[in-house]
Structure formats: C-alpha cells, structure tokens
Amino acid sequence: MSRVLVISASPRRDGNSHILADAAMIGAHESGHRVDHVFLSDHVEKMLENCRECRQIRGGSCQLDDNYDTLLFDHIIPADGIIYAMPLHFYGMPGRLKTMFDRLFCYISKSAPHSDDVVRGLQNKKIGVLISCEESYLGATVGVVTQMQELTRYFNQDLAGVVIGHANSRGEVTEDPSKPTESAARLGSQLFYTRVTDYRVDTVRPNKVW
Ligand SMILES: Cc1cc2nc3c(=O)[nH]c(=O)nc-3n(C[C@H](O)[C@H](O)[C@H](O)COP(=O)(O)O)c2cc1C
C-alpha cells in the first residue's frame, strides 16, 4: 500500500482546486492507496526569513512557530507520492505554496539539523499537480507547470501528471466540459503506475518503448 499525500493549497477550502483534490483522493483510495490530506493554511503561516539570522542559535533548527515541522516530518517525508492542488494566482502558484518550498531551504541546508535525513526523505516520490484557473489560454499555466517540472527534477521526484480545470466561482470546476474532476481521479488512481520517462541521447533502453 503506497501513501499519497494531497495538499490543498488554496485559501478557499471549499474552492475549485479542493474539488480536484477530493476527486484525486477518491481515485487514490479506490486504487488501494493510503490517503492523507492537509490544508496548507493549517501548517504554513510564516514566510521564510533570513535563515542565517533567524534559525535557533543552539541546534540551528528553524524557529518560525507554525506547524511547518509537522507538515514536513509527519506528512511530506513519509509520503510515497504527493498531489498538489492549487489555484493559479497571477500566473504562478499561490504564495503559501511557494513559501512551503522556500522554507525547505531551512531544513535541507547542510547546517540544519538532520538535513541528510530530510534530503533523503524528499526524494523518489511520485508527484501530481492539479491546477484550477480562470483563463484557458495555454500560456497562463506554462510558468507554474515549468516550475513544478524543475522542482521535481531538483528533488529527484517524478512528475506523473498535471490536470488543469477551468473555473472561477466556487464549484464551477465541475462544469468544465473537459471533465478535470475525472482526470484528477485518474491521476490519483494512476499516480504510482504512470511511467515517467526523461531520456538523454545516450540513455540505455530497449528500442521497444511500450
Ligand atoms: C489572487 C488571485 C489571482 C488569480 N490569478 C489568476 C490568473 O493569473 N489567471 C487565472 O486564470 N486565474 C486567476 N485567478 C482565478 C483563480 O485561479 C480561479 O478562480 C480558481 O478557480 C480558484 O481556485 P480555488 O477556488 O481553489 O481558490 C486568480 C484568483 C486570485 C484570488
């Protein structure tokens, strides 16, 4: 049984991206995976500060007092796969989610306590991305999709799929004719079975791909 963490990153807990998150959770559950879910706003309140001055003098750990530690050690690191559900905010990920990534800095830098364990614990996960946004213009989501590609590359993770739903008012995503809720459910159920390939010209592989 694999563990899937679904992170709802919108400040709207009953919004469109959370509807996509719910669908992905149902898909993951139906495939027999253990599903864990968090609202990011329960864990990330503080912005990254200047780590050099901000971290605890004794021990060197992050001293920002919110629930980030719990998110990282009890939810993110134990997960085999993570699905990020987010609204598009000004052509990027919402600030709280960006802050979640920014604050990893304070846990993976060499001077942080247990940084080797954190670095190891972040790797080799399957990643899914669910985006809800108003604009259907393809360029609107290019930036955030590229950023997720780079982040997963950096953390040695596999980006298994991206689902984009078009919607604005609460709940509208269920009316998107491209049926993103169905795609999100499929992403949840197939997260660990989707083959992710990223060849180089000298990658050793059989000629027959499938
Ligand atoms: C601060 C803010 C910025 C937004 N920026 C964009 C944008 O750049 N492009 C877009 O298509 N929609 C944008 N939207 C609309 C949301 O992405 C859209 O309403 C989405 O469905 C909201 O998802 P949620 O209900 O999960 O929060 C923005 C909304 C907010 C609140």
Comparing CA positions, the residue from 133, 42, 118 lying closest to residue 87 is 133
Residue 132 and residue 15 in contact, taking contact as beta carbons nearer than 8 Å: yes
Q: What is the widest separation between alpha-carbon atoms in the chain?
A: 56
**44, burial (CB in 10 Å: exposed 0-12, middle 13-18, buried 19+):** buried
What is the Cα–Cα distance from 174 to 142, expressed in whole angstroms?
Answer: 23
Element (H, E) at 69: helix 68-70
pLDDT beneath 50, residues of the chain: none
179 close to ligand 1 (CB < 6 Angstrom) = no
Q: How many CB atoms lie within 10 A of CB 59?
A: 9
DSSP letter (8 states) at residue 91: T
Q: Which residue's CA lies nearest to atom 26 of ligand 1?
A: 17
Q: What is the DSSP string of 179-198?
A: -HHHHHHHHHHHTTTS----
Residue 137 CB less than 6 A away from ligand 1: no
pLDDT of residue 209: 63
Distance 10 CA to ligand 1 centre (A): 9
90 lines ligand 1 (CB under 6 A): yes
pLDDT of residue 55: 84
Which amino acid, one-letter code, is at 161? G
Q: Taking the model in full, what pTM does it have?
A: 0.96
Q: Is 158 helix (H, G, I), strand (E, B) or coil?
A: strand
Which pLDDT score, from 0 to 100, does residue 97 have? Answer: 98
Predicted pLDDT of residue 210: 59
With a 6 Å cutoff on the Cβ, whether 133 touches ligand 1 is yes
Single out the residue of 9, 176, 180, 173 nearest to residue 101, CA to CA: 9
**174 close to ligand 1 (CB < 6 Angstrom):** no
Q: Is the CB of 9 under 6 A from ligand 1?
A: no
**93 Cα to the center of ligand 1, angstroms:** 10
